[in-house]
Structure 1
Amino acid sequence: MEKNRIFFEYGEEELRLLQKGGDVFPWKKWGPYVSERSWGTVREDYSGDGNAWDHFPYEMAPYRTYRWGEDGIAGFCDRYQILALTHAFWNGKDPILKERLYGVGTHQGNHGEDVKEYYYYLDGVPTHSYMRYLYKYPCEEYPYEKLAEEGRQRGIEEREYELVDTGIFNGGRYFDIYIEYAKGGKDDICVKLTIENRSSQEESIHVIPQLIFRNTWGWGEERLPEPVMRRGKGGCIEADDSMAQSPSRLSFDYHVGKRYFYADERAEILFTNNETNKEHLYGEKSETPYTKDAFHRYIVLDDKEKVNPEEKGTKACFYFRDLKVPAGGKEEILLRLTNTPLKHPLTGVEETIHKRKRQADEYYAGIHPKGATEEEKIIQRQALAGMIWTKQIYLYDVNLWLKGDNPEEPPPQSRESIRNTHWKHLISKRIISMPDKWEYPWFAAWDLAFHCISLALTDMDFAKDQLWYLLFDQFQHPNGQVPAYEWEFSDLNPPVQGWAALRLFNMDGKKDTAFLKKCFHKLLLNFAWWVNKVDAKGNNVFEGGFLGMDNITVVDRSQEIPGGGKIEQSDGTGWMGFFCLNLMRMALELAKEDSVYEGMAIKFYEHFVYIANALVAAENREVQNWDEEDGFFYDVLTGCKTNNHIRIKVRSMVGLIPLYAVDCITAEELDQFKGFAESFQWFTKNREDICSRCVTPIEQDGKKKYLLTLMEPEKIGRVLEKVWDPNEFRSDYGIRSLSKYHEKNPYELLGSRIKYEPAEAESTLMGGNSNWRGPIWFPTSFLFIEALKTLGEHTGDQIKVEGKTPHEMAHYFADALINLFKKDSEGKRPIYGDYDLLQNEPHFQDLILFYEHFHGDTGRGLGASHQTGWTGLVANLIAEWRK
């Protein structure tokens, strides 16, 4: 009876998520954990100057073996990436196989690194039992040199040069290559490639599905036993790692065992080794004549001697030679990777794919809110598919990376002082949500906190695990700091992990107190680190560095200030007030089961009050963050040689972040938590001099409650006046990160200048590949919408700007962000701006890209084009504002 009840309540995908046990989650053992770019990354950089892009450029990738993770197009691999399946293509004209995605480096793009491909994550479920990907491959020679050269020539004030600008897709001369994965079982992976020719003439294409053993054997003083691939019975590729060494630093033995890779009889089978071609790169003798680039040489250069005639190795492929695809027609290829030898392996593959696709439809039908339009459901589904596709294996042992694998060939000693020297404890073998599988094939701490909120819509347990990894002892520093991101773990990102933990707890029905408790205890360490690290004068005003917003202000906040001094930040202080309220609320939730936590709640309440007071009346300084004349918060430069205190009067997101901190202590809570209530009332009464600035009593239904904000309601109203002004922060597409006021009123300080830049960055601060000087960003907008919603719930219509309450403003901004992706009255999606092909071509116009940020005036997508994690929050906006 119980079994039938469970089956009735849950769909097939939900039932798979419930199946746990063993050392590896059974239905997640195989997934899309392969990066789309591993070249040019920190982990593969063993240089003496830390210039990862030059040390391992794209041009080296076909020939050089990776140390820390494979890459490829639409890759699939096991949990620890012992074995990876990727897809390569050749149109008969390119100088190289299309094995991985191409993009320009920091010195080639006029706005930094950027992927120059069109590909889409169309579908996916959290167990990866069904996944769908689309790659658009031109029929003509891919314009590698043209993209790089044009990017170098363009000025900082010009748009980035994109693949669509080259005209390569004109006339429909391209292939739409759909790649689908469906699991017949936990270890049975069915694959279908559908190659559709969009051209008006017949086109030919070569298709090369590849199986690769990640090289784990060739790095130390002695070579370890290698896995092996060979031709198996029935024309399959047989892969076996049983004789190889299990991954190090695991508490259990792990192997993928024997695997059988099947295709139809049209395919040739080729073998080589996943080894560096040292002769090509360095003029040295390679360990074997059969190297990583053998298939490129065999197919593109017609060099038959580079594949192993003995038909064995550590890399193999099926080669579908010169497939002729008629005009407007298609070609289909079926594959299967399984742990069982099969007599008729391709029988049932399509049936499995159709079945899993139908189950994915059922799964998402339970996620989409009833009030969402069909278009909004498509946007939400593709956003969540992007989140699921960007889960990756993140392999990194910082201590080993710094020292090098082989003491006989140590890396340059200068590497010890370039980056991550203080993070030798960090060891990762985790599956982690990445901001982007191309531009950011590494985790970023504040990005990941936002990813968790979107991922929770599909897989709450995975979302909680992601957040916990940041606080886990192999990640969080012993001093309490949370690692920021791979390029410098010691940088400072906003402390949003407390908010994320609390929000996951609330989304999950406020029942998992064990999760909340373990996060709370580790966040206490993080809070203490922040207080001790960045509150130099003890004023509760914080100097937190750039805090993730790369070029938000007139000076580079990650560097020493010209002329000395420090920046006392409105946003740093606002983030800490926000952190305090998150920890206070977590403590109150835990106090429902253990009254000891009431003492922690009052501690963070009091600390919040001190921080609020510091924003407007900090001791030992003559200039405060709050500017009464402007009605806005600014950063303050202190200790500068030319002036002791300078208010940096830039109206930006820096001055809006103090509004994030909103909570309310209700009469019911004061009745429930007696110890907390006693201390709360004593402190509020006896320190009225400071509490009056941030604790506002409100009468509602004959009961008194206390609104907690970093400023009085009158100041909130004044800031919201600028937020709601279309000539300042309000755009048709969201909240600008810099006020449009600075378009006509640039601000200058210490020889630097900042003005409103609604699109690509004109500033080169922090590398020039990001821009907070006007565009719209999802993470900061999402938090602002939440703050407005909470404020509206507790104040009703007591705060109004031009007749709009905070809740109505929240609704406006939520709709504005959702509308970025929807067709407008003219059938155009704001994200695609004036790109005619993306707006009007039938096979482009209904595909959605999730950009890093968006033009402050037009909504055009900017920066990284594939999810960047936090833009997936549009799925939450649809879930919460379309109920």
Structure 2
Amino acid sequence: MTAEQQRLKVNALKKVPLEQWGPYLSDRQWGTVREDFSSNGDAWNYFPFSHSHARAYRWGEDGLGGISDFFQNLCFSVALWNGKDKILKERLYGLGNFEGNHGEDVKELYYYLDNVPTHYYMEFLYKYPQQEFPYEDLVEKNRNRSRLEPEYEILDTGVFNDNKYFDVKITYAKHSKRDIAIRIDITNRGKTAAPITVLPTLWFYNRWSYGGLTERPCIKKINNNAVKATHERLGNYYLYFQKADMALFTENETNHEKLFGRPNQSPFVKDAFNEAIINNVNVDQLRENTEGTKFSPVYKYRIAGGATKSICLRLSDVLMDQPFPHGFEHIFATRKQEANDFYAEILPKNVSEDWKQIQRQALAGLLWSKQYYHFDIERWLSTTDDISPLSPERKTGRNHDWQHLKNQDIVLMPDKWEYPWYAAWDLGFHCVSMALVDPVFAKHQLILIMREWYMKPDGQIPAYEWNFGDVNPPVHAMAALQVYHIEKKQKGTGDINFLKRIFQKLIINFTWWIHRKDANGNNIFEGGFLGLDNIGVFNRSMPLHGQMELEQADGTSWMGMYALNLMDMAIEIAMHDPSFEDAATKFFEHFVLIAEGLNELGMWNNEDKFYYDTLAIKEHDPIQLKIHSIVGLTSLFAVSTIDKKVFDKLGDFRKRFDWFEDYRKKNNKFWPNEEKADEETILLSLIPKERLIALLQRILSETEFLSEGGIRALSKYHEKNPYTVNIDGTDYTIQYDPGDSTSNFFGGNSNWRGPVWIPINYLIIQSIKKYGDFYGDNLCVEYPTGSGNYLNLEQVSEELMKRVISIFELNQSGRKAHGDYNWFYQQPGNEHLILFYEYFHGDTLHGLGAAHQTGWTALAANLICDMSENLPPVEQAQEVYEEENEEDV
């Protein structure tokens, strides 16, 4: 057992399986709903980036490559100045929702290089231009571009030309749980010397201004190389630092005079360091001050071309005379080796070094995406930020009906800049990847989202802070089962208590779906936009004419998957606890009824061989919305098998199964696809075999869904054949849109009309693999469609995995994900940097959307694990890889 695994074993015994210190600091707190106290709910304009360096936050903190304790009492991050910028680089910059031509968008180059679950070792890399940061240029160029044009990115501005930038690498290595070594390495990647000022910054989250603390915390000078941070909840911590040019103290308080024209109580405000370093304002006062709630030692360098300067610090709860003893730096090498040992133990050995690199960075990004999330809706609605008065509009505005929601936890975020708030269905996928490295924490996250301070009393799971009441696909039962089986494979035994615990909460949520999203009681579900944003011809969350109702093929399919997952879960539990046998029967029968609704009530088009959403209109024939999208492919997700040994042990379940089958067949009622293979296994599928084959023909067609990197969200068929429908005199049209969104639905920052999305590909691949396990060579299909090349479905799933993984693979041209920016990533030192985007262009596969949505894009790591099961032993793996890529090499 490695050192990291031993630490995880200790953490597993905790009520909350977390380390006290980790990467819990957000990358962006400004522009969030929880910082919005406006009357009109305009979060981006209420707290813009221009306020972030001078205005104290209400619900959390942000910083550059930072850490905090798990209640974010005390924070640490790094601030920089290149001698030319008008503000310190204290946090990542990006465009607000109304500034970008495709919605909000981070405009920085940064990378999560490494991390382990206990955060005993972490690496973060930031690339800082030596020229003035192009804030205005990024805003102006993007503002002037239409939705039909690509985004104007920082690599387009020229500030990284000729390598005129610094690599700022921040490394954390823990001596113990509360003793953290910090090293900041600043490398001049250019050829000529350039100046840089570095401010490692320690500060307290401002709770005192809002009655959250009895006493104001304090950071106080001990000597020229140490300060003491005292907090009534956290206790005492000490920041030790090497000799600095100067040390500055201020307060984490809003600069009211600068922002709002109101006098400040003192010059010690949040942006005082900014004014001192850049404008030489109040420098002596800040240097003479010996205490505050924000502190920085200041290091001024002029670094020669190609040279590196290093700064070491130590944050500890122990008072010590020699914080940097001889050999101090060895802690970094020790923890790095422990991280290497950990990943070598848990990840496949028989894959190429490039695949290992992809997995390592994907999982590092996932671990870096743990964030402290603090939001109490009731307090938010009934208090102010002392800037804007209480308004009656907020009382009935956004999320007013979620006043039970009181979150203060460490949660896996989709992207700590673009989505620095949890999203329910994203979290399900995050946990599937997290299970590879820390299944205990993955289980904790799934339980957490269903606890009473998250789940609404009626059973609804909160979607995301912009609208907690929106409806996300119900993937949590799927995620719980995946996490369970991943851990069972690792340890040899499964956590039945976890399944029991989450099963109880999932039943409540399933019941909410039944009561709220099946208006006609016919097992056809509406659901809303279901997390797929703009996949429909119109906004599927918008209210329709009172005589109309949108019955959703994907809503119904998701619920079929949900019922089948709950059946599988109940069976797994019942094999240990027979009291759950009835629950297995209940969800099996419910699955049958949902399958009947999907297949018999007008969603299948026998001519097109596809499932469509249906617009039901009173006293008129229903209208099928004939869009070839993943809406019609979600029907694949509900598939499972039951082994004979289950029936042997669960006699009542078998009896009911047989009776229900006999009854429905005698009465000519729909029965889901059920076949016996060697009399040992029964297949349950939402769709009959012939419909499965028809869907696969479309999925595997390169003129429809199949791209070089996996399955597109919308068929390429609609590139030349847009679909239009007239509703209440208005024409609505949808067409294949492979890149950035050209629709403004949901802010226009994501697109389900053509790109490749990794989580959907993961579900499709897993489902096809299940079919392949059952049918074996008895069912073969053309791959690709029309090629004359026939494969069984397990082989098809492998080919699809290869395509998805290829998005991130390094070849002669670079990585597909980096697209037109491979020129930058082919430069020495950048070859192994990988960005895990939100989604990928349906034709070119370059990354789009959130640039660091490692959360669900980390599923690439799971796919590599799955692929490794069918690869040769380790000694042959590199030979196979090189042979397959011989042309590129």
Using structure 2 for the length normalisation, give the TM-score: 0.94
Report what 1:633 is aligned to. 611
**How far apart are the structure 2 equivalents of 1:691 and 1:216?**
66
**Aligned mate of 1:241, from 231, 250, 256:** 231
* 1:760 to 2:737 alignment: no
Report what 2:139 is aligned to. 148
**8 Å Cα contact 2:250-2:292 kept in structure 1:** yes
SS of corresponding position for 2:102: coil
Report what 2:886 is aligned to. none
* 1:678 to 2:655 alignment: yes
Report what 1:741 is aligned to. 717
SS of corresponding position for 2:698: helix
* Identity across matched positions, percent: 45
Cα distance change, pair 409–136 in 1 and its aligned pair in 2 (3 A): closer
**8 Å Cα contact 2:220-2:229 kept in structure 1:** yes
**Aligned mate of 1:493, from 462, 466, 472:** 472
**8 Å Cα contact 2:739-2:755 kept in structure 1:** yes
**Aligned mate of 1:721, from 675, 697, 710:** 697
Deviation, structure 1 residue 842: 2.0
**Aligned mate of 1:227, from 207, 210, 217:** 217
* 1:281 to 2:259 alignment: yes
**Aligned mate of 2:420, from 441, 447, 453:** 441
Report what 1:603 is aligned to. 586
Report what 2:841 is aligned to. 855
**How far apart are the structure 1 equivalents of 2:761 and 2:536?**
18
* 1:424 to 2:403 alignment: yes
SS of corresponding position for 2:56: coil
Deviation, structure 1 residue 24: 8.0
**How far apart are the structure 2 equivalents of 1:563 and 1:673?**
47
Deviation, structure 1 residue 838: 3.0
**Aligned mate of 2:113, from 122, 133, 136:** 122
* 1:209 to 2:210 alignment: no
Deviation, structure 1 residue 225: 1.6
How far does the alpha carbon of each residue in 1:605-660 deviate from its partner, in whole angstroms, 9 at most, with x for none? 11111111111212xxxxx110000100000011279x541100000000000110
Deviation, structure 1 residue 582: 0.3
Aligned residues: 852
Cα distance change, pair 697–112 in 1 and its aligned pair in 2 (3 A): closer
Report what 2:791 is aligned to. 804
How far does the alpha carbon of each residue in 1:395-444 deviate from its partner, in whole angstroms, 9 at most, with x for none? 11111111115899752121122211121111111111000010111100
**How far apart are the structure 2 equivalents of 1:564 and 1:263?**
69
* 1:646 to 2:632 alignment: no
**8 Å Cα contact 1:587-1:598 kept in structure 2:** yes
Cα distance change, pair 690–376 in 1 and its aligned pair in 2 (3 A): farther
**Aligned mate of 1:527, from 501, 510, 517:** 510
**How far apart are the structure 2 equivalents of 1:528 and 1:408?**
42
Report what 2:882 is aligned to. none
Cα distance change, pair 882–497 in 1 and its aligned pair in 2 (3 A): same
SS of corresponding position for 2:791: coil
Report what 1:200 is aligned to. 191
Cα distance change, pair 182–691 in 1 and its aligned pair in 2 (3 A): farther
Deviation, structure 1 residue 665: 2.2
Deviation, structure 1 residue 767: 1.5
**How far apart are the structure 2 equivalents of 1:418 and 1:20?**
41
1:311 partner amino acid: T
**8 Å Cα contact 1:637-1:647 kept in structure 2:** yes
Deviation, structure 1 residue 804: 2.4
**How far apart are the structure 1 equivalents of 2:245 and 2:583?**
66
**8 Å Cα contact 1:563-1:640 kept in structure 2:** no
**How far apart are the structure 2 equivalents of 1:73 and 1:694?**
56
**How far apart are the structure 2 equivalents of 1:748 and 1:20?**
55
**How far apart are the structure 2 equivalents of 1:385 and 1:181?**
13
Q: Using the TM superposition, name which of 25-34 and 359-368 deviates more.
A: 25-34
Cα distance change, pair 406–332 in 1 and its aligned pair in 2 (3 A): closer
SS of corresponding position for 1:472: coil
Q: Using the TM superposition, name which of 159-168 and 834-843 deviates more.
A: 834-843
**Aligned mate of 1:792, from 772, 780, 796:** 772
SS of corresponding position for 1:281: helix
1:357 partner amino acid: K
How far does the alpha carbon of each residue in 1:305-334 deviate from its partner, in whole angstroms, 9 at most, with x for none? 56263311111111112x011111111111
1:239 partner amino acid: A
Cα distance change, pair 75–640 in 1 and its aligned pair in 2 (3 A): farther
Deviation, structure 1 residue 107: 1.1
Deviation, structure 1 residue 563: 7.5
Deviation, structure 1 residue 792: 0.5
**8 Å Cα contact 2:188-2:303 kept in structure 1:** yes
Give the RMSD, CA atoms, in angstroms. 1.8
2:196 partner amino acid: I
SS of corresponding position for 1:508: helix
**8 Å Cα contact 2:575-2:646 kept in structure 1:** no
Report what 1:84 is aligned to. 75
**How far apart are the structure 1 equivalents of 2:666 and 2:688?**
13
How far does the alpha carbon of each residue in 1:455-492 deviate from its partner, in whole angstroms, 9 at most, with x for none? 11111111100010111111111101111111111100
Deviation, structure 1 residue 204: 1.0
Cα distance change, pair 223–389 in 1 and its aligned pair in 2 (3 A): closer
Cα distance change, pair 707–224 in 1 and its aligned pair in 2 (3 A): same
SS of corresponding position for 1:797: helix
Report what 2:806 is aligned to. 819
**How far apart are the structure 1 equivalents of 2:307 and 2:11?**
43
Cα distance change, pair 604–316 in 1 and its aligned pair in 2 (3 A): same
How far does the alpha carbon of each residue in 1:14-48 deviate from its partner, in whole angstroms, 9 at most, with x for none? 11112249988697101110001000001101110
Deviation, structure 1 residue 359: 0.5
**8 Å Cα contact 1:334-1:349 kept in structure 2:** no
1:490 partner amino acid: G
Which runs of no fewer than 5 residues in structure 1 stay unpaired?
A: 1-9, 243-254, 619-623
Which runs of no fewer than 5 residues in structure 2 stay unpaired?
A: 783-789, 870-889
1:274 partner amino acid: N
Report what 1:779 is aligned to. 759
Report what 2:878 is aligned to. none
Using structure 1 for the length normalisation, give the TM-score: 0.94
Deviation, structure 1 residue 668: 2.3
Report what 2:569 is aligned to. 586
Report what 2:319 is aligned to. 341
Q: Using the TM superposition, name which of 370-379 and 229-238 deviates more.
A: 229-238
Deviation, structure 1 residue 843: 3.0
**8 Å Cα contact 1:717-1:800 kept in structure 2:** no
* 1:355 to 2:315 alignment: no
SS of corresponding position for 1:835: helix
**How far apart are the structure 2 equivalents of 1:120 and 1:646?**
48
Report what 1:659 is aligned to. 636
Report what 1:371 is aligned to. 350
**8 Å Cα contact 1:613-1:690 kept in structure 2:** no
**8 Å Cα contact 1:693-1:710 kept in structure 2:** no
